[in-house]
Amino acid sequence: MEIFKQIPLYRYLSICNESGMQKTVLDCGAGGDTPPLSLFYSNGYTTYGIEFAADQIDKANTFAKSKGQDLNIKQGDMRRLPFENESISFVYSYNSIFHMNKNDVRTSLEEMKRVLKPGGIMFVNFLTVHDFRVGEGIDLGNNQYEQIEDGFPVIHSYYEPNEADGLLDDMEFIYKEDRVLERIFEGERIRQGFVDYICRKNKL
Amino acid sequence: MEIFKQIPLYRYLSICNESGMQKTVLDCGAGGDTPPLSLFYSNGYTTYGIEFAADQIDKANTFAKSKGQDLNIKQGDMRRLPFENESISFVYSYNSIFHMNKNDVRTSLEEMKRVLKPGGIMFVNFLTVHDFRVGEGIDLGNNQYEQIEDGFPVIHSYYEPNEADGLLDDMEFIYKEDRVLERIFEGERIRQGFVDYICRKNKL
């Protein structure tokens, strides 16, 4: 059994499984070398993915091909999801949404809510101000920074542990976890901060 | 695929798998209705478990039987592990060790280290002072409390986020996560605090 490195999605998958809803799932920011949509595919889900970066789509497709899976990941923009209103049971964005400024994060969350079916379940996580990179790079204000990642400039938005509560308060609360983790990265002990949310779209 | 509720053990399992060591694992506090040793068993591990409470062993065995697994869980005491020195590759205790006072926790950790092979990998987690039950019950000092759980008095020891570092500083650091989670329990939103460690026993 392959263990995916996106550990918090195991809890989300478990909650999705228990909901009894139709097994359709959308990943916003679905690319990368071990796409977690593969875990959902293996659990019987019809998968959809949106990814901005073409090279990350290629990596995901290479992985999926090696598993004999078609994860259905398309190039696209979270701020304008190419899906109908209330069309998908489960929508998530893992370690992805904070690569935009906070206005775009808000827009993207509204899009995720829009495409969710009533009663559908969302996972999203944010970087927190406990992260070791807060303060690094070009300060865009309100804990938003332009930083260098893999040689390219990227935006990272950092949130206070309760700051994103207000972005999700029109949904039913299921789970929240404020995590400060330390691990070895390139020989150094680094500290990262994340806050994860699982919430349910209200039924009409 | 069954998803186990002990989510942080997925990361530990992944690290164990990658180590290439012989797949032998010991769970200290192995009982309960969904014993995570079953996850290791499904991944090809020879499993051993120690559990103090006979009723929790029964629950675990009922689950294991339903899966056709023999998890090899015995009644025993973490403070005196019935295993030889340096005999097991992987030793963990999940949501269990903090049901003792801090002296007994220290003794149990030394036992876990004793039975680990050199290069073997340990997971252990602690309640933290961020938990909603800190201060409840009979105060035994130093954030240790006798509290009521399922109608019975039990000890809960709570740790400052960095307090247990010193109990593990003779091992190689791999991973630490300080988690404050909120979830719905019996209709109420509750806050729990845990700190998880993964570390490696030094080779000689």
The pLDDT of residue A95: 97
Parallel/antiparallel/unpaired status of strands A88-93 and A24-28: parallel
**Cα–Cα distance measured from residue A75 to residue B25, given in angstroms and rounded to the nearest whole number:** 43
Hey, are the CB atoms on B14 and A5 less than 8 Å from each other?
yes
B14-40 pLDDT, tens digit each? 999 999 999 999 999 999 999 999 999
Residues A157 and A147 sit within 8 Å (Cβ to Cβ): no
A55–chain B nearest CA distance, Å = 26
Q: Which amino acid is at A154?
A: V
Given a cut of 80, whether residue A204 has pLDDT beyond it is no
A184-197 pLDDT, tens digit each? 999 999 999 999 99
And the tokens for A163? 């700051």
What is the average per-residue pLDDT within A130-145?
98
First to last CA, chain A: 39
**Cα–Cα distance measured from residue A8 to residue B8, given in angstroms and rounded to the nearest whole number:** 8
Hey, are the CB atoms on B182 and A180 less than 8 Å from each other?
no
* Helix, strand, or coil (residue B107): helix
And the tokens for A108? 């993207």
Hey, are the CB atoms on A177 and B180 less than 8 Å from each other?
yes
Q: How far is CA A47 from the centre of its chain?
A: 14
Say which DSSP state B33 is in: S
Choose among A90, A154, A153: nearest CA to A127. A154
Closest chain B residue to the Cα of A183, Cα to Cα: B175
Hey, are the CB atoms on A179 and B174 less than 8 Å from each other?
no
And the tokens for B72? 């090899």
All structural domains of chain B with their residue ranges: 22-200
Parallel/antiparallel/unpaired status of strands B144-149 and B138-141: antiparallel
| Phi and psi angles of residue B154, each rounded to the nearest 5 degrees, phi first | -135, 155
**Cα–Cα distance measured from residue B177 to residue B56, given in angstroms and rounded to the nearest whole number:** 27
A48-86 pLDDT, tens digit each? 999 999 999 999 999 999 999 999 999 999 999 999 999
Encode burial over A154-182: b for 16+ CB neighbours within 10 A, e otherwise.
Answer: ebbbbbebebbeebbeebebbbbbbbbbb
Reported confidence tier of residue A150, pLDDT bands at 50, 70, 90: confident
Residues B179 and B193 sit within 8 Å (Cβ to Cβ): yes
Among B178, B184, B185, B198, which would you mutate to test the A interface (most chain A Cβ atoms within 10 Å of its Cβ)? B178
- Chain A residues with CB under 8 Å of B131 CB are none
- Chain B residues with CB under 8 Å of A43 CB are 1
User: Over pLDDT 90: what percentage of chain A?
Assistant: 97
B7, B42, B183: residue with CB nearest A10:
B7
- Chain B residues with CB under 8 Å of A17 CB are 3
Tracing tokens 């509720």 back to the chain, one arrives at B5
Sign of CA dihedral B159, B164, B166, B167: positive
Q: For residue B88, what are the β-bridge partners?
A: B116
Tell me the pLDDT of chain A averaged across its residues: 97
What pTM was computed for the model? 0.97
Q: Which amino acid is at A171?
A: M
Name every residue whose Cβ is closer than 8 Å to that of residue B65 and which is 6 or more positions away in sequence.
Answer: none
**What topology does CATH give the domain B22-200?**
Rossmann fold (3.40.50)
| Phi and psi angles of residue B139, each rounded to the nearest 5 degrees, phi first | -80, 115
A167-179 pLDDT, tens digit each? 999 999 999 999 9
Hey, are the CB atoms on A11 and B7 less than 8 Å from each other?
yes
Hey, are the CB atoms on B175 and A189 less than 8 Å from each other?
no
**Chain B interface, Cβ < 8 Å to A:** 1, 3, 5, 7-8, 10-11, 13-14, 17, 42-43, 161, 173-184, 189
What is the average per-residue pLDDT within A132-140?
97
B154–chain A nearest CA distance, Å = 26
User: How many residue pairs bridge chain A and chain B with CB atoms within 8 Å of each other?
Assistant: 68
**Cα–Cα distance measured from residue B90 to residue B21, given in angstroms and rounded to the nearest whole number:** 9
Given a cut of 80, whether residue B113 has pLDDT beyond it is yes
Among B5, B177, B200, which would you mutate to test the A interface (most chain A Cβ atoms within 10 Å of its Cβ)? B177
Hey, are the CB atoms on A14 and B1 less than 8 Å from each other?
no
